[in-house]
Structure 1
Amino acid sequence: MLRFFRSYYPYQYVSLLGLLLLIRLPLLLHPFPMLIPELNWMLIGEQISEGNLLYRDIWDSISPLSAVVYWGLHSLFGRSTLSLHIAATVVSVFQIVYFNYLTNNRDVYSDRTFWPGLIYMLFLHLSFDCLTLSPVLMSTSFLLLAFGTLIKQMERRGATDEVFEVGFYIGIAALFYLPSALFVIWATLSLLFYTGTSFRQHSLTLFGFLFPIAATVLFYYLNNSLDDFNRNLLSSVFRVRQYSLSDFQSLFASLFIPLGLGVLGFLSLFRSTSRYVNFQQRVQQIMMLWFVIAVLTIALVPFLAPMSFLSFVPPMAYFTLYYFENLRKAWLAELGFSVAFGLILLLFYQGLLGLIPGAELGRLTSLQVRASPLPDAIRDRHILIIGEDLSAYRQNRPATPYLNWDLAKYDLKNLDNYESVINVFDHFRKDPPDYIIDRENVVDKLFQRAPALGTWYEKTATAGVYKRK
């Protein structure tokens, strides 16, 4: 396969994208288990389409531009996981084509081949959850655009005012996935160490980064929701931890080969530094900085799953190519890539199709939406789930802003505070749920603190479920 994609002809894009579709089509046509994050994103899109404002009327920690995309998809396709998967494939095609074009057009490597796109395409299949349109995937597209503008500056003797674009792209990336804001450190260090950037141009980069964020802040200020924006997005990045993933074996297995190849490629550079010109060596160093910043974002991710590590794909793919390029025997490189290709896709298909009977590796069971705990009669109703398990929302609609339990705790776990009780009462009055599913045992205390609410609801035969009278 490496030999086939070594030639650099435009028609190879067709081959590369054909291979991508060949890998994904069997899964896109197969019944796909809905993931809890996917359900959460679709609920947000649905709520926004009904006129609710994110953070004020929908308490969730998702970044605003991602929410806008889910709103658009819901407006066109409704609650459709297939639309998420098709949109993710479109975004993946852009990243593969752009990464391959950029590395060849800017002579990042010694030879022009389709290996960068091939390896990038392979690493986008860490796990079957990477098939969905995650905020990390969308954010990485803009980080790649920032990378493209950055290395264009490095080719010149002095930086230009285009450094504004670098900061702007990272600001947009942060509005898709907030932890990506850390990449402004990557851009600043790269410009400082590897370009002749002046103080004015550093200021332009910072302004470009802050401009889209400031516009978003202004929007929420004009809608009297700045406190909600701060609490549910900016402050929550340090506290919100959703969908606890206990399947660390699957996470480790999905990252082992790409990270291992990336490390081997990086180490191979020490044996062949004389082969690369000064520009290529600087690109190697800024890609190493990318990897370091990506590691720092792990502390801020809302949940651990392979899809949360898609920002690692560009540096892993970048350094992996050096490993295969520096192998002296072509047959050994071909064999090594074929083995890596097979093992990565085996785990990818195992997660969804269960190719290995009885093996749970790669299944990500803790991220899958479970069967609804409610009776079958409760469908298409407005409900409130007090707890982390969102499964009951699959056949119902959320009521009140309390979608994210980690954020709902501000009120529902603070009922000794008079202001919190008033907030809960107001939210119930504006959007009363038909059913309350209490998994955290807070309803009894809520009814004690707000007796008027207690008169609205009665217990049902199902434990923890209250019905509106």
Structure 2
Amino acid sequence: MISYFRSILPSRLVLLVLLFLAIRLPLVLLGIPATVSELLYMLVGERMGDGFAMYREIYDSTAPLSAFFYWTIDVVAGRSYLTYRLTATFLLLLQAILFNVTLNRHQVYAGKGYIPALLYLLLGSITFEFDMLTPLLIGNTFLIMSLPYIITISREGLDNNRLFVGGFMVGLAALSYLPLALFLLVAAFAVVLFASGTFRSLLLMLCGFAFPYAVLMTYYLYSNSIAYFLEMHLLQPWHFQVSTLLPAADLAKVMLLPGLILLLSLISTTSLPQRLVFQSRFQQLMTVWLMVSVALVFTRQEISAGTFLVTLPPIAYFSEFLFTSRQKKWILNLYFLLVLSGVIVLRYRYALGIDTLVQVDDSQLLLPRQQQSDLAGTSVLVLGSDYSYYEQNKLATPYLNWELSQRHCGRLDEYQAVYELYQNFRKESPAYIVDKTGLMPQLKHKLPSVFGAYEPTNAAAVYKKSR
């Protein structure tokens, strides 16, 4: 069965795509419950679509290129979970095919086939978190697009300008999700392995990486937003800590299958026959890719299964050695069937009615349903991190990310912060304010001309503008 994909005939690619869509689309079309992350991205895109500038008029740390994606989707389809998930499906399929084509074109293995793409797509469907159009998914697309440029310079002699393009792609990946800038280490290691003029090649790669940042910062400079961009995105502190959105045991359940495939694949590499120098160096590069991917997982404040998306390329690469090893065919087919059945069980545990047997507590990822039915189709500001009130309403004022909103709301004893808060509310005032932090009494005292117009409603912590 798995041997069918050891060929590059077009029929193999067609079956691969059909298998992926058969696994992926039913759950997407049936509908996954709304998630907090997706609603946040939709609010960013919606507010940009209403003409508000990112960072200056939208306080959020979403990377600029990802925000552009969300703005584009809002212009085309508005708030649409289906559009977001279909776009994510397309990007994952594109990543797998581009990655596999790169491996085949550069003869990374002894033979050519679609096994890496097969494992990429299967493991990329193991959880609904990979169905979300996250900045990490967008940025990972650019990382894979950079790969053929950073590994071909030594094979093309003096055509080192390709490395500039490779660095440029890594720069676009970082503009989609800032921690992906760590993959400069992978690109630098590729320079050491493949480049003939290491120092010149390294400079070309760094210039390519810096170029999109230079263009973007020039735009923000002329639009008077450079300080906001630096504060809310570029200079945000990185967090190397473990705070899981899924319970540790449940996260282990989801990642057990990819971890086992990776472990067995790494063991298979120890028995490889002698190979070409390029193939050995590429294996070293993917080992570094894997280590950087694991390090990147811990740069997030909150870790869930979706953060391991960046490990899919090295797992898919090493899986080729497992499924083309000298083990008996029935054993390799058994491995494949276990992977396929494991993905289906985890992905469709609710639809199959086995969620009591395979329990994964993903409640922190899902959007809680707010109970205030009168808050629908209006403008709302939530003083806190409860995004559920925005599900049927529009955000008013820039205060989306509550942590970043502390530049004003957390400094009410400073004149400048209170003045800027007043300026933002003078431009637009929400019909309702939901006070989840108990700030309204202090705000009424500091700015009675603004917050004095809001009166308590029957719902706890909800204030309605009365005049």
Which of the five TM-score ranges fits, normalised by the shorter chain?
A: over 0.9
Distance in 2 of aligned mates of 1:415 and 1:33: 37
Q: Which residue of 2 aligns with 1:103?
A: 103
Pairwise CA distance, 1:327: 4.2
Q: Which residue of 2 aligns with 1:370?
A: 368
Q: Which residue of 1 aligns with 2:132?
A: 132
1:167 to 1:446, Cα distance in 2 relative to 1, 3 A: same
Q: Secondary structure, in 3 states, of the residue corresponding to 2:245?
A: coil
Pairwise CA distance, 1:146: 1.2
Contact 1:245–1:366 (CA under 8 A) maintained in structure 2: yes
Pairwise CA distance, 1:417: 1.8
Pairwise CA distance, 1:244: 6.5
**Per-residue deviation, residues 306-357 of structure 1 (Å, max 9, x unmatched):** 222211100011112212222421111111121122112211222x536314
The TM-score with structure 1 as length reference comes to 0.94
Distance in 1 of aligned mates of 2:25 and 2:187: 37
Distance in 2 of aligned mates of 1:251 and 1:194: 37
**Per-residue deviation, residues 285-322 of structure 1 (Å, max 9, x unmatched):** 00011111112212322532222221110001111221
Pairwise CA distance, 1:404: 0.7
Q: Does 1:213 align with 2:213?
A: yes
Matched to 1:198, the amino acid is T
Distance in 2 of aligned mates of 1:235 and 1:361: 39
Q: Which residue of 2 aligns with 1:444?
A: 441
Pairwise CA distance, 1:228: 0.6
Distance in 2 of aligned mates of 1:467 and 1:359: 46
Distance in 1 of aligned mates of 2:382 and 2:326: 56
Distance in 2 of aligned mates of 1:252 and 1:446: 44
Among 350, 353, 365, the residue aligned to 2:351: 353
1:266 to 1:156, Cα distance in 2 relative to 1, 3 A: farther
The TM-score with structure 2 as length reference comes to 0.95
Task: List gaps (5 residues or longer) in structure 1.
Answer: none
User: Bigger shift: 3-12 or 388-397?
Assistant: 3-12
Q: How many residues end up aligned between the 2 structures?
A: 466
Q: 1:3-42 maps to which residues of 2 (within 5 A)?
A: 3-42=3-42
Q: Which residue of 2 aligns with 1:421?
A: 418
Contact 1:154–1:279 (CA under 8 A) maintained in structure 2: no
Q: 1:384-463 maps to which residues of 2 (within 5 A)?
A: 384-463=381-460
Q: 1:134-213 maps to which residues of 2 (within 5 A)?
A: 134-156=134-156, 160-213=160-213
Contact 2:381–2:430 (CA under 8 A) maintained in structure 1: yes
Q: Which residue of 2 aligns with 1:295?
A: 294
Contact 1:167–1:205 (CA under 8 A) maintained in structure 2: yes
Distance in 2 of aligned mates of 1:258 and 1:240: 23
1:302 to 1:42, Cα distance in 2 relative to 1, 3 A: farther
Q: Secondary structure, in 3 states, of the residue corresponding to 2:413?
A: coil
1:402 to 1:240, Cα distance in 2 relative to 1, 3 A: farther
Distance in 1 of aligned mates of 2:142 and 2:135: 11
Contact 1:166–1:205 (CA under 8 A) maintained in structure 2: yes
Superposed CA RMSD: 2.0
Q: 1:11-90 maps to which residues of 2 (within 5 A)?
A: 11-90=11-90
User: Bigger shift: 158-167 or 403-412?
Assistant: 158-167
Pairwise CA distance, 1:59: 0.6
Q: Which residue of 2 aligns with 1:465?
A: 462
Q: Which residue of 1 aligns with 2:281?
A: 282
Q: Which residue of 2 aligns with 1:228?
A: 228
Distance in 2 of aligned mates of 1:197 and 1:53: 43
Contact 1:413–1:442 (CA under 8 A) maintained in structure 2: no
Distance in 2 of aligned mates of 1:413 and 1:369: 26
**Per-residue deviation, residues 17-53 of structure 1 (Å, max 9, x unmatched):** 1111111221122132011110011111110010000
Contact 1:354–1:363 (CA under 8 A) maintained in structure 2: no
Distance in 1 of aligned mates of 2:3 and 2:327: 14
Distance in 1 of aligned mates of 2:361 and 2:84: 19
Pairwise CA distance, 1:246: 4.1
Pairwise CA distance, 1:427: 1.1
Q: 1:239-254 maps to which residues of 2 (within 5 A)?
A: 245-254=245-254
Pairwise CA distance, 1:72: 0.8
